[in-house]
Amino acid sequence: MSRQHWSSKTGVILAVAGSAIGLGNFLRFPGQVVNNGGGAFLIPYFVALLLLGLPLMWIEWTIGRFGGGFGHSTAPGMFHNLADKRRFIKYFGVIGIFGPIVIFTYYTYIESWLLAYSLFAATGRYNACTDHQSMGAFLNAYRGLARNEHFQGIGTAYVFFILTFAANLWIIAYGIKGGIERVCRYAMPALFVIAIVLMIRVFTLGTPDPAHPENNVLAGMGFLWNPDWTKLWNAQAWQAFANGEGFSMERLALLGTALNGKVWLAAAGQIFFTLSVGIGVILTYASYLSRRDDVALSGLTSASANETAEVILGGSIVIPAAVAFFGATATLQSSSSIFDLGFKTMPLVLQKSGFGNLLGLLWFGLLFLAGITSSLSLAQPAIAFLEDEFNLSRREAVTVFGVVTFLLCQMAIFGLGAGVVDELDFWGGTFCLVLFGAVETILFGWVFGMDRAWTELHAGSDIRIPGIYRWIIRYVTPAFLIVILAVYLIQDGIPLLLLRNVKPENTLAILMTRIVLLLLFALLACMVWIAWRRKEAGNSKEAP
């Protein structure tokens, strides 16, 4: 079976940018800024970008192209060759298939809300909702978490989920060039145009309420770009840490508080999420490049497009608009989740901005385009694994993937109120990202070797990466990742594992979700084992 390929360098850059530019740029990023000290959040954010995001991005582009040269488009085969065919290494690559599948199961459902809300905005379905409470009630009823005059069950949401899920599979079935690349070629320019139109409209809002002149767009930009340094540093906690002696978990917790580890962890997590690193998607996309195709400049270009969409456009739409209409304090109070700003605050703002229905359509249309280009990328690693290692045709692989993920999606749809989506997001969208990123970095810089890695990274390169990144990739990035993983497990992971924050009535749903995820991981590991046994058997038959 001949391997697929991109039609051009522009095509792969747009596809990788499409994978990275998603709901994280326009929903998650503003929410993280609001919930983590405003402008103070950008300090650790840019530190994490330079020391974590860019190195991992180059690592994944390089490993992907390298593995593609051996006929592998997913992490197990790539890691196998990267580690000189050590037997156990390929099983770490299972994370690079498992993570995207888990994210796909809830991401597609959330994506379907955006398709529905695009229609609701165009038709004025939620126009009667005039405050955060009523807009929240509308959203909850749509998702089947309540009943009111708008929705009597989850039926409407389920129809839009079917439509969104089918659209994803239909596009993916046309392959890399005919499906994913073609969609991204149109979706990415359209996304940027819509975002710029919305940003211009926000900048022309001025001071919407003369009675509160302090609430204006400039105040919103100031909230975004003026750091409050006290959000990053706690002098009392540092003094308490300095006065202590010896090593203890309590003293380590004090250090995390002194440095406000929550903000630093949130920034690092956002970089992972926004650049699509640590997922396995970039590995798969880069595997369809040829040996002499550039990865250094291409990777930097796609990352730059993503950061433009997130910091410049994403940050300049939601936060200034929310502050202009509701003030900084009300914005903080109304953003307890990433959905609050996007599904509650922004529709209210746009209703009051003139041409509210049209602007609402543009807003949710923008989010849907961002969502679908990302969900397409999440499907590709599993499909590529079935194609490469089990010789399935494209249609056969998409069918298998579709059946399995459709069943898995039901957990997110019907378990939303029980916290199942949060559980899936922890394992697929947080823990696996950091763990997989750490494995990649250690394999690349230490097992493969930094000399070979640096040479491979620059093969066919259109730019020369600054030499300091040799040191960063080998030492700083893996240390950064290990610290993040350790601190996260201590602060959030252990309580989550022990179900400390789970309501008693939701315990069974969370335990069942974990059992399903364990079975999925075990199934993928078994499939890797079977694939390599078949390869070894085939090689032994060919040997004289």
pLDDT tens per residue across span 318-355: 888 888 888 876 676 666 666 778 898 899 989 888 88
Gyration radius of the chain over CA positions: 23
Residue 494's domain spans which residues? 9-112+153-230+259-347+363-536
pLDDT tens-place string over residues 45-98: 999 999 999 999 999 999 999 999 999 999 999 999 998 887 789 999 999 999
Q: What angle do CA 130, 152, 503 make, to 5 degrees?
A: 85
pLDDT given at position 106 = 96
Please provide residue 36's backbone torsions phi and psi, each rounded to the nearest 5 degrees. -130, 45
**Residue, of 336 and 33, whose pLDDT is higher:** 33
Bridge partners (DSSP) of residue 227 are: 38
pLDDT tens-place string over residues 179-218: 999 999 999 999 999 999 999 999 998 777 777 888 888 8
Of the candidates 340, 313, 360, 268, which has an alpha carbon nearest to the alpha carbon of residue 34? 340
pLDDT given at position 535 = 82
Sign of the Cα pseudo-torsion (48, 492, 331, 136, in order): positive
Q: Average pLDDT in the 507-525 region?
A: 96
**139-148, 222-231, 373-382, 438-447 — which is least confidently predicted?**
222-231
How many angstroms separate the Cα of 62 from the Cα of each of 67, 108, 109, 289?
9, 29, 32, 10
pLDDT given at position 1 = 54
Domain assignment of residue 179, yes or no: yes
pLDDT given at position 226 = 85
Domain assignment of residue 138, yes or no: no
Bridge partners (DSSP) of residue 38 are: 227
Burial class (CB within 10 angstroms; exposed 0-12, middle 13-18, buried 19+) of 18: buried
Domain assignment of residue 254, yes or no: no
**Residue, of 233 and 477, whose pLDDT is higher:** 477
Question: What whole-number distance in Å separates Cα of residue 125 and Cα of residue 123?
Answer: 5
Please count the other Cβ atoms lying within 10 Å of the Cβ belonging to residue 72. 27
Domain assignment of residue 121, yes or no: no
Helix, coil or strand: residue 38: strand
Query: SS3 for 176-231, per residue?
Result: HHHHHHHHHHHHHHHHHHHHHHHHHHHHCCCCCCCCCCCCCHHHHHHHHHCECHHH
CB-based burial, 279-302: b 16+ in 10 Å, e otherwise? bbbbbbbbbbbeeebbbbbbbbbb
pLDDT given at position 526 = 97
Domain assignment of residue 4, yes or no: no
CB 52 within 8 A of CB 73: no
Domain assignment of residue 355, yes or no: no
pLDDT given at position 324 = 86
Read off the pLDDT band of 261 (50, 70, 90): low
Please tell me what DSSP assigns to residue 313.
I
Read off the pLDDT band of 32 (50, 70, 90): confident
Domain assignment of residue 396, yes or no: yes
Q: How many domains does one find in the chain?
A: 1
Q: Residue 145 carries which side chain, given as an amino acid letter?
A: L
Residue 103 clears pLDDT 70, i.e. is over it: yes
Provide the CATH number for the domain around residue 59: 1.10.4160
How many angstroms separate the Cα of 61 from the Cα of each of 171, 177, 285, 377, 444?
24, 18, 8, 14, 11
CB 168 within 8 A of CB 372: yes
As a whole number of Å, the end-to-end CA separation of the chain is 25
pLDDT tens-place string over residues 287-296: 999 988 999 9
Average pLDDT, the chain: 89
pLDDT given at position 252 = 61
CB 157 within 8 A of CB 113: yes
pLDDT tens-place string over residues 16-28: 999 999 888 998 8
pLDDT given at position 254 = 60
Read off the pLDDT band of 399 (50, 70, 90): very high
Domain assignment of residue 215, yes or no: yes
CB 68 within 8 A of CB 313: no
pLDDT given at position 208 = 79
pLDDT tens-place string over residues 361-386: 999 999 999 999 999 999 999 999 99
Of the candidates 302, 275, 280, 287, which has an alpha carbon nearest to the alpha carbon of residue 64? 287
How large a percentage of the chain has pLDDT more than 70?
91
Of the candidates 294, 291, 313, which has an alpha carbon nearest to the alpha carbon of residue 302? 294
Q: Average pLDDT in the 405-428 region?
A: 94
Please tell me what DSSP assigns to residue 2.
P
pLDDT given at position 398 = 97
**What are the structure tokens assigned to 62, written together?**
């390089």
Residue 239 clears pLDDT 60, i.e. is over it: yes
Range of 261-265, 405-409, 498-502 with top mean pLDDT: 405-409
Flag whether the pTM goes above 0.85. yes
**Residue, of 468 and 431, whose pLDDT is higher:** 468
Q: Residue 384 carries which side chain, given as an amino acid letter?
A: A
